[in-house]
């Protein structure tokens, strides 16, 4: 059994990714923070389709919680290891910079950027010694490539994540581990439901918001054996909005 950990997997893109990887045959580990009911529902959907799933709650911004949760998982699976990591957990605290609080700056960087560092470092301890390879897929954003007004904190975190993806890919490639980033544009999820969709669609050449399932299909490919020679890349999925 191959195990895939998807952070922030109780809803939105993370949920779609968890469902898609389960269909490929991975035992999907569903990470979430507070919404246990939603995470349980994702697990049930996977099991109803004949797949395997586990729940692993922790706060992606808290290194002590991450260490404790993964220690617990490894104790329960002494002969197994997590070979696929999708760093999807993220939050937004949008505001213009001159009105942005210290907490809104630090909270966004702690979850979107530092969470990647804490979780990936921990799992590399078991990925690196094995020659079977691994996949690390980081959820970046159009904001990290183009920059978005009102999202200085979010744009900074996602841009840094892209730089980290490129650097880490070079470090771990000799161990058959690939590291790539996916940069969605406007995707129809809970995170974007308050945005003026009708106005924003006019900016998108494809004329619509993307679907979480379309992002999940890209992640699924990057997690596959067919993508073994793709690493250090940032793949945009934005309907032509910014390329």
**Domain locations in the chain?**
3-237
Residue 139: the pLDDT is 98
Residues 3, 32, 154, 242: which is the catalytic one?
154
Neighbours of 157 (CB within 10 A): 27
Q: Is residue 33 a contact partner of residue 9, using CB atoms and an 8 Å limit? A: no
> Quick check: is 229 catalytic?
no
3.90.470.20, 3.30.70.890, 3.30.365.10, 3.40.50.720: which CATH number matches 3-237?
3.40.50.720
- Name the percent of the chain lying above pLDDT 90: 90
Give Cα 21 to chain centroid, integer Å.
13
**Confidence at 217, pLDDT banded by 50, 70, 90:** very high
**Looking at the predicted structure, is the pLDDT value of residue 243 above 70?**
no
pLDDT in tens, 164-200: 999 999 999 999 999 999 999 999 987 777 777 788 8
- Report, in this order, helix, strand and coil percent for the chain, each rounded to 5: 50, 15, 35
Arithmetic mean of pLDDT, 3-19: 97
The H or E element containing residue 158 is: helix 152-172
pLDDT tens digits, residue range 20-40?
999 999 999 999 999 999 999
Q: What is the three-class DSSP state of 53?
A: strand
Cα distances from 189 to residues 103, 195, 209, 213, 215, in angstroms, run 24, 10, 10, 11, 11
| Mean pLDDT of all residues belonging to the chain | 95
pTM score, whole prediction: 0.95
């Amino acid at each position: 059994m191959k195990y895939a950990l998807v952070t922030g997997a109780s809803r939105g893109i993370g949920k779609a990714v968890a469902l898609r990887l389960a269909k490929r045959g991975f035992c999907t580990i569903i990470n979430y923070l507070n919404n246990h009911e939603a995470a349980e529902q994702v697990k049930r959907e996977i099991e109803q389709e004949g797949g395997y799933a586990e729940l692993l709650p922790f706060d992606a911004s808290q290194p002590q919680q991450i260490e404790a949760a993964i220690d617990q998982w490894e104790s329960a699976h002494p002969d197994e290891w997590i070979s696929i990591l999708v760093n999807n957990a993220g939050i937004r605290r949008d505001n213009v910079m001159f009105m942005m609080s210290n907490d809104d700056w630090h909270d966004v960087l702690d979850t979107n950027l530092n969470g990647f560092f804490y979780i990936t470092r921990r799992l590399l301890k078991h990925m690196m010694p094995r020659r079977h390879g691994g996949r690390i897929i980081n959820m970046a954003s159009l904001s990290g490539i183009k920059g978005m007004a009102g999202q200085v904190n979010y744009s900074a975190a996602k841009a840094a994540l892209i730089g980290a993806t490129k650097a880490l890919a070079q470090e771990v490639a000799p161990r058959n581990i690939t590291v790539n980033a996916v940069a969605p544009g406007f995707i129809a999820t809970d995170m974007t439901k308050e945005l003026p969709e009708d106005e924003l669609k006019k900016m998108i050449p494809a004329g619509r918001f993307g679907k979480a399932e379309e992002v999940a299909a890209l992640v699924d490919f990057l997690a596959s054996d067919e993508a073994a020679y793709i690493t250090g890349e940032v793949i945009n999925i934005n309907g032509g909005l910014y390329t």
